[in-house]
Structure 1
Amino acid sequence: MIIVTGATGQLGHQIVERLLTLVPADRVGVSVRDPQKAQMLADRGVRVRQGSFTDPAALAHAFEGASQVLIVSVDKMGDECVRQHRTAIEAAVAAGARRILYTSQMGAGATSHFQACRDHAATEEQLRACGVPFTSLRNGFYAASAAHFLGHAADAGELALPADGPVAWTAHADLADAAAAILADEGRFDGPTPPLTAGQTLTFDDIAAITARLTGRAVTRTTTTDEEFRRQLTGQGVPSETAAQLLGIFAASRAGEFAMVDPTLAQLIGREPITVETVLREHLLKG
């Protein structure tokens, strides 16, 4: 049985939906914090069990009978993130999984400027040491984050952010398709995958220009200092630690950590990846 964690989250839910087009529902199980939110999956024949990365006993039940376990990384950073991933890895090993898969990120490395990438690197080290074959999905930077940083710039006419560098912004939908394809073809990748990225890199100058084109309104990209951005975030109630972590994204992009483009994602999904313009158009329509 293929077990997917976080199956009610933005990425995990899409992975399960794609996986159900490739394998029978009775071969798929999900581990979720709130099984009621996954009732629609249970109605389709998916095994739904409660599981939490902070509860080893619950994970043992959720992972029972697993042939593969996909650990969708938590939305935390720092020591707590790495601890939770360790708990999930240990539970997958104890359940007898033949392979553990993990949603990592391009740029994962112990010296990254971005905390999340350092956390991914630490988790990958745990996977190397766990004694079970693993696949680490080196996902491109989420295009949804570009839309988040865009915020209300289309209305304000200004996109004010720290200096950045080129980023291979990549859609959740494409990464879900790739994860499902890899789960359905066990052992296709051993260890970290090549970067799973969209077909181009863009800076926030490019994103401002795309936004202007989509809306027909001028959007000026202005550059704040890191400290100005930090003060702006904390003034909005963002914890200082979180503000520092967000600034790490810009420092990492300036260092070129997210600038690689690779054809592997397109090969896996059998088509050209979704463009940032498409993601931004959807974001602007919702706004």
Structure 2
Amino acid sequence: MIAVTGATGQLGQKVMNQLLTTVPAEQLVALVRSPDKAADLAGRGVDVRKADYDQPDTLTSALAGVDRLLLISGSEIGQRTRQHQAVIDAAKAQGVELLVYTSILSADKSPLKLAEEHRQTEAALKASGVPHVILRNGWYTENYTMGLAGSLEQGAMAGAAGEGVFNAATRQDYAEAAVAVLTREDNTSGTVYELAGTEGFTLAQFAQLGSELSGKPLTYQNMPEADFAGLLAQVGLPAEFAAILADSEAGAADGWLASESKDLETLIGRPSTPLKTAIQDALN
């Protein structure tokens, strides 16, 4: 049995869909806070179980009979170490044979604020004794393609990454990598994969390509980290989250979201989705 946390989330949905191409539905478990939101998965024969990070009892019962578990990192920044620990504890109690965790690129040494909870979770996994594999996902291409329409309306996109390179990949790329690990028979506990996109790009290059493919003007406007955080807060993001995103872009300026690792290519058996393709898909 293979279980996936956050199975109705943006990455979780893609992981479930990918698993369903190779694994019988009766061998899959979708772990979700709101089972009613996973009706489509239930309709396809997947076992949908309630699993709430803040209700440890639900986690223990939800992992009954599970052999392999994908722990997709939670979205509640500041709460994730505690929440992830609850999942790890439940996995240990139920004898899960392999726990696969989605971390962040270079988590062991990254100065990004986003990396700290990942670093703590990785440490918790090592201390738990639960056999595990760590997928250190790079940046998502969708972090920028999802806002492309709005940027094109404004004719500009703002950021704080300077000339920093992003070796980003699409959620589909990362989903395929996760499935490759979940379904292989030769995993070694403690293995760490640094997952980075094949093609690196700066935000200025992203803007230029977006302009070329759309036929509309689009420029990249670099801002100091504090100013960018303020802009994100102005458009509605919570101040704390805005500060974390601005910190991540400033980290990218220093190279922390770039990597020459080929682990992603190796796992999925192809180069990651080209930026041109990702932008064209967003425009379509």
Task: Identify the TM-score tier after normalising by the shorter chain.
Answer: over 0.9
Alpha-carbon offset, residue 211 of structure 1: 0.6
Partner residue of 1:256? 255
Matched, 1:32 2:24: no
Give the direction of change, closer, same or farther, for the CA distance of 1:27–1:101 in structure 2 (3 Å limit).
same
Assess if the C-alpha contact under 8 Å between 1:139 and 1:195 holds in 2.
yes
Partner residue of 1:129? 127
CA distance in 2, matches of 1:69, 1:228: 40
| Residue type of the alignment partner of 2:207 | A
Assess if the C-alpha contact under 8 Å between 1:66 and 1:97 holds in 2.
yes
CA distance in 2, matches of 1:151, 1:81: 31
CA distance in 1, matches of 2:191, 2:255: 19
**Higher mean C-alpha deviation, range 113-122 or range 170-179:** 113-122
Aligned length, in residue pairs: 283
SS class of match (1:73): coil
Give the direction of change, closer, same or farther, for the CA distance of 1:192–1:258 in structure 2 (3 Å limit).
farther
Alpha-carbon offset, residue 76 of structure 1: 2.1
Partner residue of 1:158? 156
CA-to-aligned-CA distance 1:68-111 (integer Å, 9 cap, x gap): 11111111222x111111111111111110111111121313x5
- Mark the runs of 5 or more structure 2 residues left unpaired by the alignment: none
Partner residue of 2:142? 144
Give the direction of change, closer, same or farther, for the CA distance of 1:151–1:226 in structure 2 (3 Å limit).
farther
Give the direction of change, closer, same or farther, for the CA distance of 1:14–1:84 in structure 2 (3 Å limit).
same
Superposed, 1:190-201 pairs within 5 Å as: 190-201=189-200
CA distance in 2, matches of 1:158, 1:216: 14
Alpha-carbon offset, residue 151 of structure 1: 5.5
**Higher mean C-alpha deviation, range 81-90 or range 145-154:** 145-154
CA distance in 2, matches of 1:149, 1:248: 19
SS class of match (2:216): coil
| Residue type of the alignment partner of 2:63 | F
Give the direction of change, closer, same or farther, for the CA distance of 1:90–1:250 in structure 2 (3 Å limit).
same
Assess if the C-alpha contact under 8 Å between 1:113 and 1:251 holds in 2.
no
CA-to-aligned-CA distance 1:16-62 (integer Å, 9 cap, x gap): 11112222222211211111222222222221111111111111111
TM-score by structure 2 length? 0.93
Give the direction of change, closer, same or farther, for the CA distance of 1:234–1:140 in structure 2 (3 Å limit).
closer
Assess if the C-alpha contact under 8 Å between 1:144 and 1:171 holds in 2.
yes
Alpha-carbon offset, residue 149 of structure 1: 5.3
Partner residue of 1:173? 172
CA-to-aligned-CA distance 1:193-213 (integer Å, 9 cap, x gap): 332222111110110111111
Partner residue of 1:71? 71
Give the direction of change, closer, same or farther, for the CA distance of 1:28–1:163 in structure 2 (3 Å limit).
closer
CA distance in 2, matches of 1:197, 1:230: 25
| Residue type of the alignment partner of 2:58 | A
CA distance in 1, matches of 2:176, 2:165: 24
CA distance in 2, matches of 1:66, 1:56: 16
Matched, 1:185 2:210: no
CA distance in 2, matches of 1:246, 1:183: 30
CA distance in 1, matches of 2:40, 2:154: 40
| Residue type of the alignment partner of 1:230 | A
| Residue type of the alignment partner of 1:183 | L
Alpha-carbon offset, residue 267 of structure 1: 2.1
**Higher mean C-alpha deviation, range 245-254 or range 121-130:** 245-254
CA distance in 1, matches of 2:161, 2:36: 43
Assess if the C-alpha contact under 8 Å between 2:91 and 2:130 holds in 1.
no
| Residue type of the alignment partner of 1:130 | S
| Residue type of the alignment partner of 1:103 | T
Partner residue of 1:45? 45
| Residue type of the alignment partner of 1:64 | A
SS class of match (2:125): helix
| Residue type of the alignment partner of 2:144 | A
Assess if the C-alpha contact under 8 Å between 2:225 and 2:247 holds in 1.
no
Partner residue of 1:3? 3
CA distance in 1, matches of 2:238, 2:180: 38
Assess if the C-alpha contact under 8 Å between 1:161 and 1:222 holds in 2.
yes
**Higher mean C-alpha deviation, range 234-243 or range 214-223:** 234-243
Assess if the C-alpha contact under 8 Å between 1:32 and 1:48 holds in 2.
yes
Q: State the identity as a percent.
A: 35
Assess if the C-alpha contact under 8 Å between 1:140 and 1:197 holds in 2.
yes
- Mark the runs of 5 or more structure 1 residues left unpaired by the alignment: none
Give the direction of change, closer, same or farther, for the CA distance of 1:134–1:155 in structure 2 (3 Å limit).
same
TM-score by structure 1 length? 0.93
CA distance in 1, matches of 2:40, 2:157: 40
SS class of match (1:115): coil
